[in-house]
Each structure stands twice: as C-alpha cells, then as structure tokens.
C-alpha cells in the first residue's frame, strides 16, 4: 500500500496515513469508548456508526460504515477508526 487509507496521498509507512491525516481526526467531538468493550470488528463499526448517527448525522454514519468495511485487516480498521472519531 503506497497511499493513505483516507485520502490517497503518499503515506507514512508506520501509520498507513499521510502526515496530514495522521494528525487530524475528522470528528474529534465524537468520542467512542472501545476499551473494555467487545473488540469484534462489527461491534467497533457499529459503536462508531451509532455515535456518528446521534452526534453528526445518518449520512456521515453511513459513509463511515462504507469506509470501515473497506479495511483490509483488523489493524487497518482500528487505524481508520482513530482517524474518524476520538477513540478511547
């Protein structure tokens, strides 16, 4: 993978994100607690979807699901989650 998973710019190989996306969260006001919860990928996707739906809107939550479902691995999903919301 040579490009950022969010925006297709050249990536930082350690984070799989470009330098711009690596320092930004799309929706920093949306906080999702994942530690101590079910770590199943679908549970993570659903928790973030629910938070985005209630705190932003349904369209953005659906965009998140599409983005998350394109993840190539569990680690990729977690990286994507951390670029969309404030994950705790």
Give yes or no for a contact between 82 and 25, defined as CB atoms under 8 angstroms apart.
yes
Q: Where are the beta strands (DSSP E) in the chain?
A: 27-32, 85-87
- Domains of the chain, by residue range, sit at 25-87
User: Does position 62 have pLDDT exceeding 60, yes or no?
Assistant: yes
pLDDT at 26: 86
Tokens (6 digits) for 39: 């770590």
28: left (phi > 0), else alpha (psi -120 to 50), else beta? alpha
Q: Find the mean pLDDT for residues 17-41.
A: 81
To the nearest whole percent, how much of the chain has pLDDT over 90?
55
Higher pLDDT, 10 or 71: 71
Tokens (6 digits) for 85: 């919301």
CA 44 – CA 34 distance, rounded (Å): 7
Q: Which pLDDT band, with edges at 50, 70 and 90, does 66 fall under? A: very high
pLDDT at 6: 65
């Amino acid at each position: 993978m040579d490009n950022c998973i969010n925006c297709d710019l050249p990536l930082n190989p350690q984070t799989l994100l470009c330098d711009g996306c690596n320092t930004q969260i799309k929706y920093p006001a949306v906080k999702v607690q994942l530690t101590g919860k079910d770590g199943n990928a679908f549970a993570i996707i659903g928790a973030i979807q629910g938070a985005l739906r209630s705190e932003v809107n349904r369209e953005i939550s659906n965009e998140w699901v599409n983005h998350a479902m394109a993840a190539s691995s569990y680690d990729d999903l977690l990286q994507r989650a951390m670029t969309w919301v404030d994950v705790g």
